[in-house]
Amino acid sequence: MIGIVNYGAGNIFSLTSALSRLGITYGMINTAKEFDLYSHIIIPGVGHAGAAMAKLQQTGLVDTIKALKKPVLGICVGMQLLTAHSEEGDAQMMGIFPLETKLFNKDLGIKIPHMGWNNIEPKNNLLFEGVENEAQFYFVHSYFIEYNVTFDIATVIYGSAFSAAIHKDNFYGVQFHPEKSGAAGERLLMNFSNLK
């Protein structure tokens, strides 16, 4: 069963709707003890990374999240919270990945925010099992995770290459919204729910 970290970081209705469609049971996590009720954890998030991190710190759940040994998936801002630092608000994040969250460079002639469907190039990782190469996923963001070959498991090109998904130990992050990405996104959520 999936536990969704509830720290007031935006509307999670589309995520819970997608999990319900897939028949994946879920519940909300509000306290450290509630992590024990679930086999898999999702950290959602929309909006401002610095503000989201401040909200997460207020819950007192940061140390518990960092110590988790079960599969954890950060989605969008939830992924950015896993990095070391975000330029959005010049804020320290949880530091699970030694990566920077950076603002897109408008000098590259791209629209900010990056909004809409984009092809990704997934690597050989259980999170993307059965997801076709060049599959499209839905993005809405102004900040991105710097590309690092050590942690990158899916790359996207928007102005330049950045990480659409990252993986380290039991922690995963996706910049796109799988819950809004049709069949490919639903397959990813199902894959995550089946991780050991």
Strand partners for 75: 174
The residue behind tokens 């940061």 is 62
Residue type, 102: K
DSSP string, 47-70: S-HHHHHHHHHHHT-HHHHHT--S
What number of other Cβ atoms are within 10 A of residue 62's Cβ?
Answer: 17
Peptide bond into 113 cis (omega under 30): yes
Active site residue 134: no
Q: Is the dihedral of CA 170, 171, 176, 180 positive or negative?
A: positive
Q: What angle do CA 57, 59, 64 make, to 5 degrees?
A: 80
Catalytic residue, candidates 40, 114, 141, 179:
179
Catalytic residue, candidates 76, 88, 141, 167:
76
Active site residue 129: no
Active site residue 177: yes
Catalytic residue, candidates 40, 48, 141, 177:
177
User: How far is residue 83's CA from residue 171's CA, in Å, rounded to a whole number?
Assistant: 11
Contacts of 147 (CB under 8 A, 6+ apart): 155, 161, 162, 163
Residues taking part in catalysis = 76, 177, 179
